[in-house]
Structure formats: structure tokens, C-alpha cells
Amino acid sequence: MVIEQKLKKFKIVFDKEMEKFLDLKIVQAEKISLSALEMVQNLKNYALSAGKRIRPALMYYGYLALSGKNKKEAMKLAMAAEFIHTFLIIHDDIIDRDNLRRGARSVHYIYKKSAEKNHYQVNASHYGNSQAISIGDMCFGFVGEIIAQSKFDCGIKDKLLEKISDIVFNTAIGQFHDVFAAAAKNGIDMKFALTILEYKTARYTVEGPLHLGAIMAGASDKTLKILSDFAIPLGIAFQIQDDILGVFGSSEETGKPVGADIREGKKTLLIIKALELGNKAQKKEIISALGNPRVSAAQIERARQIIIDTGSLEYSKKLAEKLAGDSRLVLKRSNLNKESKEFFSAVAEFMIKRKY
């Protein structure tokens, strides 16, 4: 795919900028202590590991869609989108108790194993979580610094900071709802599930980066509204596809343990629809597997089959395709330039066609 090649080229250039930034932080940390140095080195290794850089790419091309005056500065500022993402996923892995991210150890798991290896006189899991929270907080601090150091005028910087606050506000609400959904005894309905998808994913994965890029270009409220109308359905479709990967994808494909979403008790659209359409026996099997930390491979496989047999998988795939189609229609009717339309349309296709 052309878009994959474009994202790979973007990643190469972008990662050099991020590495340069983090190397300066390593120099700062080294002056403080060896522990601080190790902390930032671990962050650098984690931040520069696998990842397609979709969010900073959307921010960068969101800027180019409306202006091409300062590409170099826009590339630097795109780090804000990636550090927001890094901050959020470090904390998300703690919440979900995921030991793997991008096929490697999660930050909290790195420090948990360190505590065990060095026989620290603490609860190893708590130690790992605590250190990961600190590293996540550090990432969020970088976002403000990157904006403050940019060469854009103060009015643009103020709007960027306001938007970043809005992104984190919305994502926190989505995360809160997601944790509640997994814990709630009562069934979660479709409306609640879609709210989680919109606020936990769509507004920070697609809308947020596009808005940040457009704001850099001095976009009007009308243009921001067009980008929202494109981004929200696409972001929801992206998360539906991600949830499908979370159940049916392999560890090599997802970078997470097989069946992680089932083990964590996530009430995704797949699960909600399967419970809605399944018979009494099927519902019982899903409920027994959902949120069970000792769920067996056979139970996970059975839950997968029920999701297929009830039509939940097909329903979810069709909904993702419809939402992506709605997104592309908005783009087609917009007044964005041809190159930008082609790029965003290709990104939409890429985001929902990932294999599992």
C-alpha cells in the first residue's frame, strides 16, 4: 500500500526528531543521578520501539492540508501527539494489567521485574506501577515543553495547549467509562459502548491530532468541524477493528497476549453484541470467560467461536465499514485540497483494513 510506504518514510524522519529530543533529556537526567539516567533511557527505548506513528502523522499532514509554510517546525511539533499517546498507553497498560505492548515489555512490567531481580523490599507490582506512572507523567510534561519551544506565535500555542487539555479530558472520561464497564455487573448497552469508543479512542487518535495540525495552520472553526465529522466515525471504526484484533489477532500481530481483552473483562462491541444475540448457554460461556484471569486457551477459543456464531463479528465488521464510509463521504464533500483528501482517505482505508 502507498499509505504504508508514506507512513514508513514519515516514521524515519519523525523518529530522528524524537530521538534528538530524548537524547537531550538523557543529558539532563545524567546530571541528576544514575537512576534518572536509566529512567529516561528506558523511556527512549520504549518510545522508539515499534509503532506506526499514525497520530503524529495525522497532526503533521493535518497541518500540510491547510498550510505548507513551515514543515520542519510542524514535524517537531508532531512529537506532542506522540508523547500524549505514550503517556496515555503507559498508564493504560497499568489499568489493563498488560505486560506486553508493541511486542515488548510494558513500562510497569519492566520495573516490576527489576524489583524482583534486585530483591527490593517492596511489592514488586506496586513498584512497577508507581515508576511507570512517573514516566508517563514525564511524557505529558514534554508536550507543554515542545509547544513552548516552537516558533509558532503565542496565539497558536495557546490554542494548541487548550486543545491538548481537551484531548486528555475526553480520553480520561473514555478510560473511566471503560474501567466502569468492565467492573459493572449490569449489562452495558450499545450506546454506552459507542461512547467509550468515541471518547477513549476517536477523539485522541484521529480528531485530536488532526485538530492540532489544523490549529497550527490557523484553521477556522468551520474547518475544525469538518475534520471532526471525518475523524469521529473513523476513530470509532478504528477501535472496533482494534477490538476485533484484540480477540482474534495473534500475539505477533497485536503485540499483546492472546485473548487479553477477554481476560481483562473488556465489554467491547463484540462482547455486547454476542451477549445480546446469544442463547442462554452461549451467554453463560462468555460470562465465565470474561474478566477471568485464569481463563484457559480452550475457553478463549470457545468465546471466539460464539462471537462468530452469533453474528457479532460480522455485525462489528460491517459497522466499522459503514462508519469509515461515512468518514470518507465527509472528506469527499469537504473543501480540503486534493492531496490532503487523498492522504486522509488512504489513512481511513489503512486504519480499518488491518488483518487479523
pTM: 0.90
- Quote the pLDDT of residue 185: 66
Average pLDDT along the chain:
90
The answer to whether the beta carbons of residues 163 and 211 sit under 8 Å apart is yes
Partnered with residue 101 across adjacent β-strands are 104
Own/partner contacts of 264-267, CB < 8 Å, gap of 24 or more, are 264/96, 264/97, 264/98, 264/182, 264/291, 265/182, 265/183, 265/290, 265/291, 265/292, 266/178, 266/181, 266/182, 267/181, 267/182, 267/184, 267/188, 267/193
Eight-class DSSP state of 354: -
Q: Which domains does the chain have, with CATH numbers?
A: 2-352 (1.10.600.10)
Grid coordinates representing 71 are: 514543515
In three-state secondary structure terms, 356 is: coil
- Quote the pLDDT of residue 224: 94
Res. 229 pLDDT band, cuts 50 70 90: very high
Q: Find the angle CA(91)-CA(81)-CA(350) to the nearest 5 degrees.
A: 95
Eight-class DSSP state of 188: P
> How many angstroms separate the CA atoms of 352 and 113, rounded?
35
- Quote the pLDDT of residue 316: 94
- Quote the pLDDT of residue 104: 83
The answer to whether the beta carbons of residues 327 and 318 sit under 8 Å apart is no
Using the predicted structure, report yes or no on whether residue 131 has a pLDDT greater than 80.
yes
- Quote the pLDDT of residue 343: 79
Res. 31 pLDDT band, cuts 50 70 90: very high
Using the predicted structure, report yes or no on whether residue 240 has a pLDDT greater than 90.
yes
- Quote the pLDDT of residue 356: 42
Q: What is the separation of C-alpha 2 from the centre of its chain, rounded to a whole number of angstroms?
A: 23
Using the predicted structure, report yes or no on whether residue 75 has a pLDDT greater than 70.
yes
Using the predicted structure, report yes or no on whether residue 355 has a pLDDT greater than 60.
no
Q: How many CB atoms lie within 10 A of CB 103?
A: 13
Using the predicted structure, report yes or no on whether residue 195 has a pLDDT greater than 70.
yes
Quick: pLDDT tens for 143-183: 999 999 999 999 999 999 999 999 999 999 999 999 998 88
